[in-house]
Structures are given as C-alpha cells and as structure tokens.
Chains A and B, each alone.
Chain A
Amino acid sequence: MIIPVFAIKNTFRAGIKSWLNAFVLSLSIVSIIWLQGLYKGMYDQGTRAMIDAELGGGQYWVEGYDPYDPFSIEDSHGKITHVLSEMIKEKSAACILIARGMLYKQGRMYSILIKGIDPEQEILSIPSGILKEKNNGIIPALIGTRMAKNSGLKKGDIFTVQWKDSKGVFDAMNFQVSEVMKTTVQNIDNNQIWISLNTMQKIFNMHSEATIVTIKKDIKPVNAGLNWEFKNLDFLLQDMKTLVQAKTAGASILYIILIFLAMIAVFDTQTLSIFKRKKEISTLIAMGMTKNKVIALFTLEGMAYDILAVIIAAIYGVPLLIFTAVKGWKMPAGTDTYGFALGDVLYPVYSLNLVFWTLLFVFILTAIVSYVPSRKIAKIEPAKILRGSTF
C-alpha cells in the first residue's frame, strides 16, 4: 500500500509539470465524454423523433415493400387484414398507404411520394387532423418544411398531382397545402405529401389497402396474417445506428489526437523523470526497495496523473458538461445533410457508463505509457549512480 501513497505524493508534489500533464489529460477525458455524449444525444434524440413521428412501436410492411426501391412502390400495397383492422379500430395502430406521383407547380415537375394517413390517428406525431376534407372539392395536403423549401410550396398553395391508380389509369387532381409541418424527421418530409387515407384509397382505387401499419409504442406485435411482416425497432433504426456509428468513428479522430498528445506528454515526463531521478531511484534501491517495486512506483506515478486529471476535469468539465446537457448544443445550418433527424438544438446525453468506460480507457492507456519507460529502471545500476567523487 505504501507504493501508491508514495506515487500520489510524488506526483502531487512535482509542481507545475504534473498539473500541465494532468490538464492535457483532463482535456482528453472531457472531450471524449463530451463527444460521446453528443453522439449519444444525437442518436437518442433522432431515435425519439423517428419513433414519435414515423416508427411508433414498429411497423408491419406489406409484402414486397422496400423503401429504398422506388420502382416497387407502385405494387407495395395490400389488403389490411382483420387483425390489423382491429388494432386500427382500437387506436393501437395507424396505417399508411404509399404511392408514387408527380407534382406540377409553376411549370415544373417533381417526382414525389404520396402518403395517405388516417386524420384521426393518434399513433404518430403528425398533424394529420388537418387532412379532414372540407367538401370544397380540394384535397387538403400536408407537407414538411424541406418539401416546402424544395418545391417552393407554402401554406394555402394549390398544386396539381398526377398519379397512376391500381388499375394503371393515370389521373390528376388539385391539392391544397393545409399546413407546412416542422419536423426533424426527413423520412416523413423529403419529396412527399400527406393526404387523408380515405381519399387516397378512393383516388388510387386501393380500398381497404395500405403499405405500412405502424403500431403504438409498447404494443406487442402479433401475427398479422399473410403478406404482412412485422419490422421491429432494431431493424427500423439500423440505418440510424449505422449513420451515428459512422459519425462517431469520424469524430473519434479528434479525441485520438488529444489522447495521443496527452499520452506523449505522460511518456515524455516519465522518460525524463527516470533520467533525472536516477539518483533517487538508486537511493530507493539502496534503502531496500526492489527494482520491481521502483518500477511499480514510477508506473503508478504516471497513473497518478489520471487522478489529478479527474480532479481538474471535475472542476471545469462537470459544469461544462451539465451546461451543454441542459442548454443543448445549437446545431449549425445544413445538418439535414447528416442524413438523420436532428433538431436545431442537440442535447448531449452523458451516462455513468460513458464516464466509467472513458476513465477506464484513459487509465489503461496511461498505465501502459507509464510502464513502458519505467521498465528502464531494471537496467539501472545503483552502485554506479550512487558513486560519489571517489571511486
């Protein structure tokens, strides 16, 4: 037990050198926790938004539906089974019909997805209530801010949409933008318009059909019958997870650099320390410490920087991390290009797990870079070092 005590004393009393090393190390610790927290927050926030607005507690997909294959969309619709109908009636599920169409506005043509949703649904946080028809012959439509920006549409605008119904007959009608919804979820916004499910089933000649049935959160999926396959959240969020992992890996270069700098500082200090303190090392050996104990002492001295670093990190890092967690991190313009749902403000999420593993990672690295130079102590010959002016 005396060796750790000596190690901490030596490090704490080594003055500015120790504090500088510890400060660099603390920067790494805080940066890692902050960045990891930011990405965790990004994932949590994105996931929450997607669950609320798009995924619910999971989705039943009609056979053949592939959101990444625009050519199969036309055929991706099927009769809603009795089981699913019951769930929809009980407000435990909401169905969505998806089809392709062309939007005409001011002489321009846009390829879009038309999505039909029940205005009465309560499963998804989409303002579908405004899709109720008002008997004025114009079909109310809901679009997102991205769609509005890309197409130049705004609330009240009337536009023409052309489509091909289930029998292959082309048809067209005027729709009116009832609302431009602000959403972080691109999957319910980009290049798509929402209309009432009934209307869509009628004009597409797809009575009692749907493409997706989204169930309420915390509802246990059941066998929905032939042609309908349940996709759980793990599957539906896989892309999001992969994207965040890719972003995390990209950002990790920053803390690899920081950690590298901190480790270089510790390694350098340890190497210099062993060189400068050869007499002290020899004295310790003369007093009865074995070389292995001296190696352990110097390794622990290096690791004691971690303790100092944690203290420093706690002083400036904890308030900083709490501040960012509460106030959030304002996202710059253009974060839509990230490819997943991000709000204007991102709230980092820090967990004890994250702090524990970060500290453990830094502790292990510091132990290694402290031990490597300390091994040189084994080669020290105290008799030579302690030799005075006489031979």
Chain B
Amino acid sequence: MNDKIIETEKLLKEYPMGHAVLKALNNVSLSFDYGEFAGVVGPSGSGKTTFLNIAGTLDSPTSGLCRVLGQNIESLSSRNAAELRTKSIGFIFQTFNLLPAYTVFENIEFPLLLLKIGKDERKKMVADALKWVGLSDRSDSFPKDLSGGECQRVAIARAVVKKPKLILADEPTANLDAENSHNIMRTMRNLNKELGITFIFATHDEKVMRYLKRKITLVDGKVDNDQITEESDKGEKL
C-alpha cells in the first residue's frame, strides 16, 4: 500500500488574469504521509489555498500529477470526487461555513447523513465529536448564537465526525483571537494523535505554525522550504 496520503508531481495551476497568466502553483512536487500534522505556509497569494483546493478535489491542476488517497484526481469524475470527499476528506474553513439553518448537532450530523449512517450510530458519533471539541452542551444552538471560537470548534467537529483520513484546514484560526486559536490547534493536534487523522493546514498565522510538525513554505507558487520540526508542544507552552 502506498504510504503517502497526498503526492504531487510538478503541479501547475494557472489562472488567466486578463491577457496575462498567473501561476498560482508552479512545479510543486510534494508528498504527505498518513497521520501528518503539516502546514503549507506562506504570505497571501503564495498558492496555499490553491494547493489545498486541488488536494481536496475541489479544483484541478492545469498540469502535473496529484494523487490523493491513491487516486489520481485528474481522472476522477465529479461524482467520484464527491464520493472521495464524502468518505475520506474533511474541510475546515477560515469563515467556518456552518449551515445557518441547522443546529450544531445537525451541522455535525450532516456528513454522516451523506454517508447514510444509521440514526443511532449517527447520534453516538455526533455526541463523541461534540465531546472532542467540548461543545456537548451547545448541540441545540444555532450558529448565530455561537462565538467565533465555538463556531470553529463546530466546524472541526463536523470535519472529524466521520473520522476521515484527511482534513484540510484553510486558515482555521484567521477569525479567532489568540486564546481560541490555541484551543482550536490543541483540539486538532489531539485529534491527530488520538484518531490518526492527517491534518494539512494552509496558514500564515504564527500561532498555527508553532503546532506544526512539518512546514512547507510556498513563495509565489513554488516550494521555498520544506522543514520537519520536532514533536511540537511549543504552542501549548506559549
């Protein structure tokens, strides 16, 4: 079995900008192992989100190879890509993107409904996810009644409830204060340790970077640096 959860080779993503062409990703060759807690870092416009979108099968590269969970994403039909996302990939967004008409419980339950998991099991899995993020007492609340930190914890619970192999988090702390950012990162690191879920972040937030075991720096769409750090609990100490 391939031990790489994501592999890219000479990944190129171009966007037309008027008459010019912008290279959001330029010849990016990277691979991530199962269970990693890694981040793609860099300034705005460096290509972090584009990389995550391609890895999450929401976008396709202009050229190059991208294999996610052993599947070449260019050859995936939209239905198969949707199936891959349903079963194996979770997303955490900067702006939480909770479904406003649904309660916390229903938001977290949503991915399980797509997986057609039975009612009793769903209930148990949502309860577990709420426990992991410490929101068991807010299950009946609507997103509008939650703080930013609570919303992001719900988003994390929604991403992890189905125990996916891969979670892609795009600037998960950008809308949070320092304390909430650390809480969120600690929660995700614990889930990484306990459930073995691979977390890949796109961030330029120093607070997030302190928790990462691996930092890949992108500059102008190119890999500038790929750095493995020691088992990190630095964030906690700060």
Spell out A's residues near B (CB within 8 Å): 2, 9-10, 13-14, 279-280, 282-291, 381-383, 386-391
Contact = CB atoms under 8 A, between A and B. Distances in A.
Contact of B95 (A279, A286, A390): A279
The 10 closest A-B pairs by CB, nearest first: A288-B86, A383-B59, A388-B94, A383-B53, A391-B45, A13-B101, A283-B97, A288-B85, A383-B58, A290-B82
A297 to B, nearest CB: 11
Interface in B89-127: 91, 93-95, 97, 99-102, 106, 110-111, 113-114
Nearest to B100: A280
Contacts of A283: 91, 93, 97, 99
Contact of B58 (A2, A10, A382, A389): A382
Contacts, number: 88
A2 B47 contact: no
B74 to A, nearest CB: 15
A280 B49 contact: no
B56 A391 contact: no
A389 B94 contact: yes
Interface residues of B, number: 39
Contacts of A13: 101
5 contacts: A280-B100, A282-B97, A286-B56, A289-B86, A388-B171
Interface of B: 24, 44-50, 53, 56, 58-59, 78-79, 82-83, 85-87, 91, 93-95, 97, 99-102, 106, 110-111, 113-114, 158, 170-171, 174, 202, 204
A10 B106 CA distance: 12
A285 B58 contact: yes
Q: Which of B99, B102, B158 has the most CB of A within 10 A?
A: B99
Given A10-B101, A383-B59, 5 more contacts: A283-B97, A290-B78, A386-B58, A387-B53, A388-B94
Contacts of A390: 44-46, 48-49, 170-171, 202, 204
A211 to B, nearest CB: 73
Contacts of A10: 101
B78 A286 contact: no
B20 to A, nearest CB: 15
B97 A279 contact: yes
Given A10-B101, A280-B100, A386-B97, A287 B24 contact: no
